[in-house]
Amino acid sequence: MTEEYTIDMIIQKILADDKQYDLSKIIASYEFAAKAHEGQTRSSGQPYIIHPLAVAYILLELGMDTDTICSAMLHDVVEDTPVTLDEVKRLFGQDVAMLVDGVTKLNKVPIFNREEQQADNVRKMLLAMSQDIRVIIIKLADRLHNMRTLKFRPGVKQRNTAHETMNIYAPIAHRLGMRGIKEELEDLAFHYLDPFAYSEIEHILELKKNEREEFITSIKETIASRFRDQDFAETPQIDGRVKSIYSIYKKMFVSHKTIEEIYDKYAVRIIVSNVGECYNVLGLVHDMFRPIPNRFKDYISTPKANMYQSLHTTVLGKEGIPFEIQIRTWEMHATAEYGIAAHWKYKEGNSQQKSDKLDQRLAWIRQVIEAQQTSDDVEEIVRIIKNDLAPEDITVMTPKGDSISLPVDSTIIDYAYRIHTQIGHKTVGAKIDGKLVPLDYKLKTGEICEIITSNEPDKGPNRSWLGIAKTNEAKSKIRSWFKKECREENIVTGKAELEKSFKHFRIRIPDDKLGEFLADDLKRHNCNTLDDFYASIGYGGVLLSKIIARLKDKYVKNYQEQEEEQETAVIRPVIKPTSGIVLDKIDDCTVKFSQCCNPLPGDEIVGFITRGHGISVHTTSCTNYKAAVRRNNPEELARWMDVQWTDTEQRKLQTSIEVIATDRVGLVFDISGVLMEARIPIVHSSSRNLKNGNALFEATITIAGTDQLKNLLERLRRIKGVISVERARV
Ligand code: MN
């Protein structure tokens, strides 16, 4: 979108709103920002001020307050212009200055750029959020506009930004309950992370667009006509839509469903005046359409963790086409759409209830900050942000009748630590509805759970609990206990684990070189000494399974003895000649890829005109080519010509795959062999060990089309030890 945002649009919107704004302050902030950014342009070539205006507009749509809108106008002036924070404070007050400062600080936090800083940066971001939640709301709006205009940025930047958006900002928007922003961020990020899948779904949706629209319209009409003879406080509003591309993708590629099999790609939403009417409407729609068993969810009596409330049911339409119906009140609707922003949008409503909700949301942020204090691992923190927001939470009751929300599959250990850290540490057993259950018992909604604790003052957790706990909260509390209480034991355990692992991976480092070999890892995990590092491994702060592949790599590259290399030497696969991938100017002549240097797309290449066999392509670093250059024989040199990869190679789209296999030596080589043989360029790949002993290999590849992809997945499945090959969840 290259929409032209203007101050007039903002003024019009403010005048049309019932909410009170300080219009002159907003205009003043605009004039100040426009002057400060004068002469600056965006990557799109537009004047820079378009961006702050767009961010302010997005926030206005969310119903944010005057100071937030002013801060949006000014959010880049301190960073990108000579304007100082003091000046902002003098002109627009303490609050605006604080918000601008918060956003400026967040901008300096490049989450996925330099690995050793990541954990720290995520922590900084969460801290800024907990100080004033409006900072992150402005940041989300800023990110949304940057994502909308991402096509003007260079490719590498696009991927990093999209990755960060998908992994940090969209989950935060979700947790803050801001559905609209979350879905748009996801769809935009997904478009850059897997353009191939994105265009596939977009194409499918486009195919039968009219049919789909007619389907939704006819359902809306059917429901509306049934409502006409019913008694409602106000006529219910009925909306219908096809769900977001990313949500369809998740269902199609992750649960392997065709688009026709996705139950809830259509969503019809019915908004009524009060809770009683929600249940009446449910009765009516179940009477009109056949409900699909087990698809009814009552999020009114049991709200989701992000405070979302609605009734959900999936029913069959006339032609047997299933669709989801969501039923909610206007208030629930505001919470669902605007989430935390509803606090500002509907401030004049029931203010006690509103600030309770705000407190609960802020409590989540504090919880995440606490939970990640014991972990230096950014992957873990990202997982905390993403995972602890499983959409389907359970609610368990304490014997006193307080309700505790936990992710699905939570155990007694999770519950005990959620109640209190000390209760967690001292847990010896639990009763569910009065009956004793084991510690790994999985709790279900509605159960009453009583924890039995030990009287011993020194009682602490058991290491095996780390395997039982589901929430990161419990895990990090267990870890931090071990970190504090058992340093000596942790050093011994950690050292033994490292040695065992080195032995397994045949990493042989003399003792006097170990410090040097592990130096990077010590730094990365904030360890000053080897003992600190062993201790971290011992209490689980450093996961060997995550670092061992990198260590092995480093070992093979820098430390391994020559004779050992033979053992793991890679046999490069033979490349079958494919035509049509090269050439500049001479498209139709026969082309083959030389076997001496195996050129791959992206390599610098030269062509050699053979006698009667077309052109053979070599890399410019090929020894044969270099020898020819050295010989400097004019007749011979005349047969070497400049060739280039054609652009079509660049225009192909990227997608990601995941291979799960039993861990064995040479697995990664076999997988990359297949990819090379199929001449599929790898943009990025990584592999790691899973908890169950299997290995996970992930790769982002460049692909020409569905057929090529299917073919590739089929070939990967045939590799020895491979358990599954799937397209990856983005
Ligand atoms: Mn910005």
Question: Lowest-confidence range among 71-80, 393-402, 448-457?
Answer: 393-402
pLDDT tens-digit series, residues 243-291: 788 888 887 776 677 777 776 678 899 999 999 999 999 999 999 999 8
The pLDDT confidence band at residue 413, using thresholds 50, 70 and 90, is very high
For the chain, give every residue range classified as CATH 1.10.3210.10. Answer: 7-201
For the chain, give every residue range classified as CATH 3.30.460.10. Answer: 202-356
pLDDT of residue 576: 33
Exposed / middle / buried, residue 3 (Cβ in 10 Å: 0-12, 13-18, 19+) = middle
User: Most confidently modeled of 149-158, 283-292, 613-622?
Assistant: 283-292
Residue 461 has pLDDT above 60, yes or no: yes
Could you confirm whether 79 is annotated as catalytic?
A: yes
pLDDT tens-digit series, residues 620-663: 877 778 877 877 777 777 777 777 665 444 456 778 888 888 87
Please indicate whether residue 421 or residue 258 has the higher confidence score (pLDDT).
421
Q: Give every CB contact of residue 695 below 8 A, 6+ residues apart in sequence.
A: 660, 661, 662, 663, 667, 687, 688, 689
Q: Per the residue annotation, which of 17, 79, 499, 714 is the catalytic one?
A: 79
Distance 259 CA to ligand 1 centre (A): 37
Distance 114 CA to ligand 1 centre (A): 21
pLDDT of residue 77: 92
Tell me what percent of the residues of the chain surpass a pLDDT of 70: 81
pLDDT of residue 575: 33
**What's the topology of domain 653-727?**
Alpha-Beta Plaits (3.30.70)
Please indicate whether residue 583 or residue 714 has the higher confidence score (pLDDT).
714
Q: Per the residue annotation, which of 3, 22, 61, 80 is the catalytic one?
A: 80
Distance 64 CA to ligand 1 centre (A): 17
Which string of b and e fits 114-135 if b means at least 16 CB within 10 Å?
Answer: eeebbbebbbbbbebbbebbbb
Distance 22 CA to ligand 1 centre (A): 23
Distance 350 CA to ligand 1 centre (A): 33
pLDDT tens-digit series, residues 278-334: 999 999 999 999 988 877 888 888 777 777 899 999 898 877 778 889 999 998 888
Mean pLDDT of the chain: 80
pLDDT of residue 686: 79
pLDDT tens-digit series, residues 554-610: 888 887 764 343 333 333 333 333 333 444 434 445 666 666 666 666 567 788 877
The pLDDT confidence band at residue 469, using thresholds 50, 70 and 90, is very high
CATH classification of 392-484 is 3.10.20.30, yes or no?
Answer: yes
Nearest to 311, CA basis, from 359, 346, 363, 276: 276
Please indicate whether residue 160 or residue 353 has the higher confidence score (pLDDT).
160
pLDDT of residue 582: 44
Nearest to 189, CA basis, from 154, 143, 152: 143
pLDDT of residue 646: 57
Distance 548 CA to ligand 1 centre (A): 39
**What's the topology of domain 7-201?**
Hypothetical protein af1432 (1.10.3210)
Amino acid letter for position 529: T
Question: Lowest-confidence range among 9-18, 54-63, 73-82, 719-728?
Answer: 719-728
Distance 400 CA to ligand 1 centre (A): 48
Q: What are phi and psi of 322, to 5 degrees?
A: -80, 150
Helix (H) or strand (E) segment spanning residue 324: strand 322-329
Considering the entire predicted model, what is its pTM? 0.60
Pick 202-356's CATH classification: 3.30.460.10, 3.90.550.10, 3.40.605.10, 3.40.50.2300: 3.30.460.10
pLDDT tens-digit series, residues 125-149: 777 776 788 888 999 999 999 999 9
How large is the average pLDDT for residues 516-540? 85
DSSP-derived 3-state class of residue 376: coil
Distance 387 CA to ligand 1 centre (A): 28
Please indicate whether residue 258 or residue 25 has the higher confidence score (pLDDT).
25
User: Most confidently modeled of 163-172, 187-196, 657-666, 705-714?
Assistant: 187-196
For the chain, give every residue range classified as CATH 3.30.70.260. Answer: 653-727
Could you confirm whether 80 is annotated as catalytic?
A: yes
Distance 426 CA to ligand 1 centre (A): 48
Helix (H) or strand (E) segment spanning residue 616: strand 615-619
For the chain, give every residue range classified as CATH 3.10.20.30. Answer: 392-484
Please indicate whether residue 161 or residue 640 has the higher confidence score (pLDDT).
161
The pLDDT confidence band at residue 430, using thresholds 50, 70 and 90, is very high
Distance 43 CA to ligand 1 centre (A): 12
pLDDT of residue 252: 77
The pLDDT confidence band at residue 694, using thresholds 50, 70 and 90, is confident
DSSP-derived 3-state class of residue 652: coil
Please indicate whether residue 490 or residue 270 has the higher confidence score (pLDDT).
270
Q: How far is CA 15 from the centre of its chain?
A: 38
Question: Strands, E, within 345-468: which ranges?
Answer: 393-397, 403-407, 427-432, 435-437, 449-453
Distance 125 CA to ligand 1 centre (A): 16
Neighbours of 397 (CB within 10 A): 16
Question: Lowest-confidence range among 95-104, 526-535, 555-564, 574-583?
Answer: 574-583
Q: Which residues pair with 657 in a beta bridge?
A: 699, 727
Residue 445 has pLDDT above 60, yes or no: yes
Distance 37 CA to ligand 1 centre (A): 12
Distance 33 CA to ligand 1 centre (A): 12
